[in-house]
Structure 1
């Protein structure tokens, strides 16, 4: 056995290795110590963030428990509130202790603690007021909201500062980690390099032989893996063309038995339609020595048909004689299917290109026709072959070609598409018939500039003629509408005058009937029979009802035609006015009102609003079951630019199926005998709101009754 001894270079290299390794280990130890300190700071920062989050959570728990106590009065909520409150300030103290090295955070924590103390003082005061039976004031609630926002803002600021510190410290940790890895890698690399150097120095010849053996083994392994893993199928054939070796992928792809492939057995997997041509091409290549390249189809193992491509080239000896063939077979099914699909698609496009009634053409960079379809050739009145190579402006009839010239010049200059351009001209100078076209031009660009222009030209003569007729018809229609509108306005004016005259003429005899009936009751009532007196009283009641009906009809008519002046109106003033006007009716019915002051202001008309509210309150007082005291609630709210006025009652209610048509004129759900009225009140309500750009809808009221919701525009 050969004996290895240390030589002076090896000894020097060994000592140098130990020194370098010792220095590297010292640097590595220092890096570990620094990394440990940086990690402790990251943990410290996370503790601060967790404590701040816990403080906010305890504060939220205290507020939630306090709200629960205010809503329910439950001692359990009060105990939870006190428990959460007592946990907050110690948590803040813990955060202060953790951030004592940060003056900025200390200042923010002082403000944070002051805000928390003020918030809990306010919460405690609200609890005490609740225990004393006093509700919290709006000022108290607003102050609480502001304190809560300040606490959240301060907490956000503190968290942001700590998160900033956390990012910096994490960055230092990451930088230290990279430095530590680099130091470790350097140490390891240096050690490995020195060990390798020692090994090379001590066993140069043995390493050289081992390297050669490893290189040979690696080369063989690489070749084997390349053959086995290559998606292509490598194969080798003899000089006579018989297959000798091949990849197992051919067996797995075709399902052939391995022993059936050598020689010409492989050809049985080829489709019978392709097999003769392929064998002939292979025989010609073997005979001539020319490279082989052929596409064919095979029966795959799964039963499907797949496209393949085989290529082969000969290997020759020093004399030029062929000693073997080396080839590759690849699966090109996806590519071939794409090519076939592309061919079918191109054929479809070509069919559309030829059949579409739009003139299509491709211009070269010199704006000459390189290709065109039949529709464009028909427009030029020339055979297609004669138009190819002609300038488009010359190929088309002169009037149209001259108009297109300016558009093409603009396209060449701007390099942007020009679409939807309309052209009109007389194709035949002797003809007076105008023809119209719609054209679009699309530049074909590449990095070098303009490659061509795609032209699309559609004749729209019939469409334009129809458009012109439509415009004429619309103008005639507008003229007729204006004439009919004028006639309708005149008829409405006559109708208003007629309604006023009829109402006046009706009221005169009604007043006479009422006067005579009243006088009859007063003067002859004692001498009249019971039936006679009843009939006279019914006459008076009918006259009063008829007069009220005429009054409501005139009011509805005026509401429909009057010019309204919209201004700021206080709904509170409107409600007070109506209540004052209905004092007698309210006193007689004993009605009770629940008024939620203040009510918002709206953009409306005060007179109409008084009329609307009066109608709704009158109905609320009137439509109740016998023996029931009317109870009416009025409230208002504002949502953005919309004000909603709610009028709720405990009356007989309105069924859902009647809620739409009760707003119609003369629509009644009950007879005059039980609930007197004209049937116009709700129609006036709806019409008045519509004139002020408002709406009204009916909602169910919990416990019975009806709620009318009036939506109007809020005052500025």
Structure 2
């Protein structure tokens, strides 16, 4: 290959390299132009005179103008008149050799709508370079600071609002630093301690509170809030500040800045509870005195009950002695002199004997009723099924005499009660059920139970003469009778004993009945503690 051909080959390779470099530069330029045009930041190119040579879409949107109007427009027309001197200084700094990045904040004119003009805070960031003609130009980024200013304004408003709120709080508030020195206080704090804010600022909180005997406790607790970010709630302190005197306060505290990089400050709130504590102490003393008085009254009442019970037994004994004598002598007259005194006199003797026996029964029932009102009942678990069998055995003579049939449905459950009282209650209910039947009718009595959560309802159902609804409550009173003693003998106290006994056991009693359709008496008692879940189901035959 000749020397000419070699040179031509080298030149061809250089041309090819230059072409490739040119293509890469063009692609890079296109990318830069695309980045320039699509950037969310507003970009402008200014010449040395401060005229706009170029602007991207973001800059046009920020200024509220079309890009065509911006070109060759003096930039100072877009700047607030008061900030134009700052623009001139900015351009002057850009022209200095060695200027890399020049930053200036100023207000620029933007448009909202057709007629409204608004000035936004904008930061200009400019860098100098030479264009392809060698002319000095400044590539300038326009950063909208409106959002930052808005956030700053919101922070200022929030701070002002919080300060107003703090000032209107009626409890003393103080901000303390990591040394527990007071940084600031609210108005309530100065009024409570009768000291100005300047007087207490910089002083240790425990010294202001005059906690010479428990200051260490306060420091330990406040350090938990400051350094461990723990909340302090209602720490009771006795303070004795000068010009205030001894008071009782509740102290609560919380670290103000939750982030570790924030200063160690704690907000301390105080609530004076002196009057509340004094009132609580007075109530406690009154309760103690009341308990002592109640105990004394209870003891006196118990002695009175005991004396009354002894008195009643004495009277009952004194009353029953003549009655027994009357009944005994009447029985002797009828047995030994019945043939002598004649039929009419014998009838009178029988009446005297019957009246004496009824009077004796009435006295016994009254004593039982009085005893139910006064005796102390011990509650325990009572097996109703076993109690029912015992009562039937005790009443066997009466059952046989009346030709009654008494049955129970299923197994009766246990209840919380008193064996003696429930024996009286069940006996009186069964006796009533057998007694009040129509003439010539054999009594039919059914005893069954319904269980509900926590309670047991015992039913005593008969085929008797029934009771009108208007008398359903009246029959449970003392001496309440709906029939004469000749028709249905009794003292009128049986159902009163039932009602009082169930009441003393914390239960209820009632009846469902209509004339001629029998009675459905029920008593409701509590289940024993820890009753099995199965006991909550109804008992079926």
CA contact (8 A) 1:393 1:402 kept: no
Q: Displacement of 1:324 after TM fit?
A: 7.6
Q: 1:439 to 1:566 in 2, by over 3 A?
A: closer
Larger Rg: 2
Structure 2 residue corresponding to 1:581, chosen from 363, 380, 394: 394
Structure 1 residue corresponding to 2:183, chosen from 352, 370, 391: 370
The answer on 1:346 being equivalent to 2:153 is no
Deviations 1:631-672 (A, max 9, x none): 32224578898766443334466788876x568541747344
Which deviates further from its counterpart, 362-371 or 672-681? 672-681
Q: Give the match for residue 548 of structure 1.
A: 361
- SS in structure 2 opposite 1:526? helix
Q: Give the match for residue 297 of structure 2.
A: 484
Q: Give the match for residue 283 of structure 2.
A: 470
Q: Give the match for residue 670 of structure 1.
A: 482
- Distance in 1 (CA, whole Å) between partners of 2:34 and 2:442 is 104
- Distance in 2 (CA, whole Å) between partners of 1:605 and 1:551 is 20
CA contact (8 A) 2:380 2:417 kept: yes
CA contact (8 A) 2:125 2:140 kept: yes
Q: Displacement of 1:375 after TM fit?
A: 4.4
- Distance in 1 (CA, whole Å) between partners of 2:513 and 2:528 is 25
Q: 1:493 to 1:675 in 2, by over 3 A?
A: same
CA contact (8 A) 1:647 1:708 kept: yes
Q: Displacement of 1:389 after TM fit?
A: 1.4
Matches within 5 A, 1:169-568: 280=81, 290-292=104-106, 311=122, 313=124, 318=130, 326=142, 339=155, 342-343=158-159, 345-353=161-169, 356=170, 358-377=171-190, 382-397=195-210, 400-409=211-220, 411-412=222-223, 415=228, 419-424=233-238, 435-440=246-251, 442=253, 444=255, 447=260, 451-511=264-324, 526-527=343-344, 543-562=356-375
Q: Displacement of 1:369 after TM fit?
A: 1.6
Q: Displacement of 1:278 after TM fit?
A: 9.4
- SS in structure 2 opposite 1:477? helix
Q: Displacement of 1:560 after TM fit?
A: 3.8
Q: Displacement of 1:612 after TM fit?
A: 2.0
Q: 1:396 to 1:434 in 2, by over 3 A?
A: closer
CA contact (8 A) 1:568 1:602 kept: yes
CA contact (8 A) 1:566 1:604 kept: yes
Q: 1:339 to 1:541 in 2, by over 3 A?
A: farther
Deviations 1:481-507 (A, max 9, x none): 233222222222222122223323333
Which deviates further from its counterpart, 453-462 or 284-293? 284-293
- SS in structure 1 opposite 2:491? coil
Q: Give the match for residue 711 of structure 1.
A: 525
The answer on 1:613 being equivalent to 2:426 is yes
Q: 1:286 to 1:562 in 2, by over 3 A?
A: same
Q: Displacement of 1:615 after TM fit?
A: 0.9
Tell me, which stretches of 5 or more residues in structure 2 are unaligned?
A: 1-21, 71-77, 91-103, 532-541
- SS in structure 1 opposite 2:292? helix
Which deviates further from its counterpart, 315-324 or 604-613? 315-324
Q: 1:680 to 1:457 in 2, by over 3 A?
A: same
CA contact (8 A) 2:44 2:139 kept: no
CA contact (8 A) 2:206 2:218 kept: no
Q: 1:642 to 1:591 in 2, by over 3 A?
A: same
- Distance in 2 (CA, whole Å) between partners of 1:241 and 1:426 is 73
Query: TM-score when scaled to structure 1?
Result: 0.50
Aligned residues: 470
Q: Give the match for residue 595 of structure 1.
A: 408
CA contact (8 A) 1:592 1:630 kept: yes
Q: 1:292 to 1:611 in 2, by over 3 A?
A: same
Cα RMSD (Å): 5.7
Q: Displacement of 1:614 after TM fit?
A: 0.8
Tell me, which stretches of 5 or more residues in structure 1 are unaligned?
A: 1-208, 265-276
- Distance in 1 (CA, whole Å) between partners of 2:44 and 2:465 is 101
Deviations 1:517-574 (A, max 9, x none): 775896756347xxx96x9877766554443332112112233444556677543342
- When you count helix as a share of all residues, which structure comes out higher? 1
- SS in structure 1 opposite 2:174? strand
CA contact (8 A) 1:242 1:262 kept: no
Q: 1:449 to 1:212 in 2, by over 3 A?
A: closer
Which deviates further from its counterpart, 503-512 or 325-334? 325-334
Q: 1:291 to 1:464 in 2, by over 3 A?
A: closer
Q: Displacement of 1:435 after TM fit?
A: 1.9
Q: 1:466 to 1:572 in 2, by over 3 A?
A: closer
Q: Displacement of 1:359 after TM fit?
A: 3.3
- Distance in 2 (CA, whole Å) between partners of 1:710 and 1:652 is 24
Q: Displacement of 1:346 after TM fit?
A: 0.8
- When you count strand as a share of all residues, which structure comes out higher? 2
- Distance in 1 (CA, whole Å) between partners of 2:465 and 2:25 is 108
CA contact (8 A) 2:502 2:509 kept: no
Query: TM-score when scaled to structure 2?
Result: 0.64
Which deviates further from its counterpart, 376-385 or 386-395? 376-385
Q: 1:671 to 1:368 in 2, by over 3 A?
A: same
